[in-house]
Structure formats: C-alpha cells, structure tokens
C-alpha cells in the first residue's frame, strides 16, 4: 500500500494559519488532521484528543525526553508539540495527514520528513500582515514592532517550502491547498 | 512579468484525450488552448483558426522546413502539428497555454520546453483501454491488436511525464488537471 502524504501548512505569525486550517477541516473532512499536545489548560468546550492532547508539564517533558514529538515549542509559558506516533501511524495506513504549525516547527518536521509537502501561507502584502498583527488587540507599538520583525524573519524561510499560497480569501486559499494535495497525488515520482 | 505555464495533456491512443480536452475547454474557458495545424479537410462546422489551422500539404511542408512547428506527425495520410509562434507568444504574455497532443509529440515538445508541465492521461485499467479501442468501430482483430500494442508502448513512456491523471470519470479527470495547474502556480521554484 502506498504511504499517505504528510502535508504541512505554516507561515508567519498573524497570517491566518488557524483560520485557514479550520476552514479546511470543514472543506476536507476526510483528511486526517494532526492533534497537537499542549500543557495549557483546556478552554471551554475543548476536548482532550480532539482539539489538543492536554498534558501536564511533567508528561510533556517526558515526551520530549523520549523523542515522541516531531517538533515542539514554548509559547507564552506553555508547551505545544506534534506527537510523532499519530503522524506515523496515519501515514502507514496510507492516509494523508495535515499539520498546521509554526514556521520553525515546520522546518524541524522537514528534517525528519523531507518527502513531506510544505506549504507556506502568505499574506497578500506585508502591509496587510501588519494590519492583521495590529488588529489582534491592544498591544503596544513595541510589541507590534517586535511581532512584525519576527514575521519578516519568518517570511525569509519561505524558500525552504515547496508551495506558497496567498491568503487573500479563505475560500481561495483552501481551494489552492486542496489543489496542491490532489496534484501531489497525481505526481509521477 | 512571469511567463505562463506550458501544460501538455497526452496519453495513449484511445484513452480519451480529446474528450477530456473538450470538457476542460468548458470548465476552464479562461485558459488558452493551442490550435493545431493540419492538412486534412475541414469538417462541417469547423472553422479555420478555431478548431484547426487548415493548411495545404505544400504550406505544411514549408512550416516543417522553417521549423515553425513544435512537433508534427502524419496520421492516416494527413499531417497534424503544433505551431510554435502561438505557443511562444501566449507564454510571453504571461498566460498559460494548453496542448492536447499525442505521446510522441509531447516528448518532442519536452525537448524544447523542459520546464513545461507534462500530464499523462491514464485509462482506469488496460482492459478498459482495450474496450475503448475495440469500441471505436468495426476494426478487424488485427487492427485492434496493433492499436493495443501501440497503446502499451505509449504507456511505457509515462515515466517521462510529471503527472499521471486517471480518466475514470471526465469530471474527475478535469478536476485533477485543474488542480495540477493551480498547484503549479503555487510552486516555489
């Protein structure tokens, strides 16, 4: 049986990965989506094993220790990571698996799965990205400047990806991602 | 301005290239379709410059002489070929151009445009292809056997292509081709 495809969606902070990822879940319910592990507390309505695998800090550190995570990062005091087992089992079953993760994490996954399909989500323009980062809330100018500089650094990592998808409209971005998956299945290797 | 993509659809005799090509014209009317030159007589309703460029044998031989054709072949006593000018002009304008041609011709085009996207249309199975070749009309067993052997030889050339699209249902085949075009436009080169 042919192995499934590992599909990674990433892109700079503020580009709308989460929104596109959620829209894709509705558009392509037959695709298997990786569930991240995290040490943060479940929010109202979040289910263990569905939205996240909720783990204690101790459990998470043990997962790191045992190399059970394809990638992980600490963000605002909490750990987030991609459990390796679920990804590998899904691929072995001949099914595709979709990961929506940060740019640095995606490059870590690429070291382990160079044959994966790496999609970089782009803002329509840098100005648009700035607006989105600013639009998030009530951050200070210094915070906005810092986030913007991180985002620009992340943009420079696009060269390591296979595809660039512009997030001008969510539906269009989803259609492009779906097209990439269909095309990759037609590829003669 | 970015150049357009050269997209070539080919596949063994009897696989349904023409049917899929025609369905694609309806589905993607914004795509530019290459118009072949031919020495055969126009059929009822066919227009010069739309269905074909109708040429005399003398004119066609002059086009060959002047290297004005990307590929050509003789079939049942008539010449068919792809005028180079129209293809190159379309690409220069930044527009994609679509060619639906025979397997041997496609490989000739690949020599001139290695950066083109070469799509091989596959029958769902060899038995299905045999049925389609047989189903064409009232050919003798010897003719059917010959066509089948040509088709099998053509199938072996699939390795030189970028994508394989199964023609199980015309709509699905068209969707796959459309997906390949969208994905290729997202590719980071």
pLDDT digits (tens, 9 = 90+) for A171-184: 999 999 999 999 99
Note down pLDDT in tens along chain B; length 189 residues: 678 999 999 999 889 999 999 999 999 999 999 999 999 999 999 999 988 999 999 999 999 999 999 999 998 899 999 999 999 999 999 999 999 999 999 999 999 999 999 999 999 988 888 888 887 666 788 888 888 888 889 999 999 999 999 999 999 999 999 999 999 999 998
CB < 8 Å to A182, chain B: 175-176, 179-180, 183
Does residue A126 or residue A166 have the better pLDDT? A166
> Cα torsion at A184, A189, A115, A13 (round to 10°)?
-30
Three-state SS at A127: helix
- Quickly state the pLDDT bin for A96 (edges 50, 70, 90): very high
CATH topology of domain B6-186: Rossmann fold (3.40.50)
Q: Decide: B15 and B124 in contact? Cβ < 8 Å.
A: no
Candidates B158, B165, B183; nearest CB to A179: B183
Does residue A134 or residue B21 have the better pLDDT? B21
Strands (DSSP E) along B123-172, which ranges? 163-166
Tell me the average pLDDT across A5-13: 95
Q: Which pLDDT belongs to residue B1? A: 62
Comparing alpha-carbon positions, the chain A residue that sits nearest to B122 is: A186
The position carrying tokens 């899904």 is: A90
Q: Decide: B81 and B64 in contact? Cβ < 8 Å.
A: yes
Q: Which pLDDT belongs to residue A129? A: 85
- Quickly state the pLDDT bin for A110 (edges 50, 70, 90): very high
Helix, strand and coil in chain B, % to nearest 5:
45, 20, 30
Judge residue A118's burial from the number of C-beta atoms within 10 Å of its C-beta, 0-12 exposed, 13-18 middle, 19 or more buried: buried
d(CA B171, CA B151): 23
Is the minimum CB–CB distance between B186 and chain A shorter than 8 Å?
Answer: yes
Q: Which pLDDT belongs to residue A131? A: 85
- Quickly state the pLDDT bin for A136 (edges 50, 70, 90): low
Q: Which pLDDT belongs to residue B170? A: 97
Q: Which pLDDT belongs to residue A146? A: 86
Q: Which pLDDT belongs to residue A143? A: 84
- Say what percent of chain A tops pLDDT 70: 98
d(CA A165, CA A168): 9
CB within 8 Å of chain A, chain B residues 153-182? 158-159, 161-165, 175-176, 178-180, 182
- Which residues sit opposite A71 in a β-bridge? A82
Judge residue A122's burial from the number of C-beta atoms within 10 Å of its C-beta, 0-12 exposed, 13-18 middle, 19 or more buried: buried
pLDDT digits (tens, 9 = 90+) for B34-51: 999 999 999 999 999 988
Q: Rounded mean pLDDT of chain A?
A: 93
Residues annotated within a binding site of B for ATP: 11-18
User: Which tokens hold the place of A147?
Assistant: 């986030």
């Amino acid at each position: 049986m042919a192995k499934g495809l590992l599909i990674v969606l990433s892109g700079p902070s503020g580009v709308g990965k989460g929104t596109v990822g959620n829209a894709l879940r509705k558009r392509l319910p037959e695709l298997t989506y990786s569930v991240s592990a995290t040490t943060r507390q479940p929010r109202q309505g979040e289910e263990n094993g569905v939205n996240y695998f909720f783990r204690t800090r101790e459990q998470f550190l043990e997962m790191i220790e045992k190399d059970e995570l394809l990638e992980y990062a600490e963000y605002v005091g909490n750990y987030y990571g991609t459990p390796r087992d679920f990804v590998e089992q899904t691929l072995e079953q001949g099914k595709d698996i979709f990961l929506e993760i940060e740019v640095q994490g995606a490059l870590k996954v690429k070291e382990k799965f160079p044959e994966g399909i790496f999609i970089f989500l782009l803002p329509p323009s840098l100005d648009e990205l700035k607006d989105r980062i600013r639009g998030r809330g009530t951050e200070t100018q210094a915070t906005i400047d810092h986030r913007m500089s991180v985002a620009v650094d992340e943009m420079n990592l696009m060269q390591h990806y296979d595809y660039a998808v512009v997030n001008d409209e969510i539906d269009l971005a989803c259609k492009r991602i779906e097209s990439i998956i269909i095309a990759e299945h037609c590829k003669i290797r």
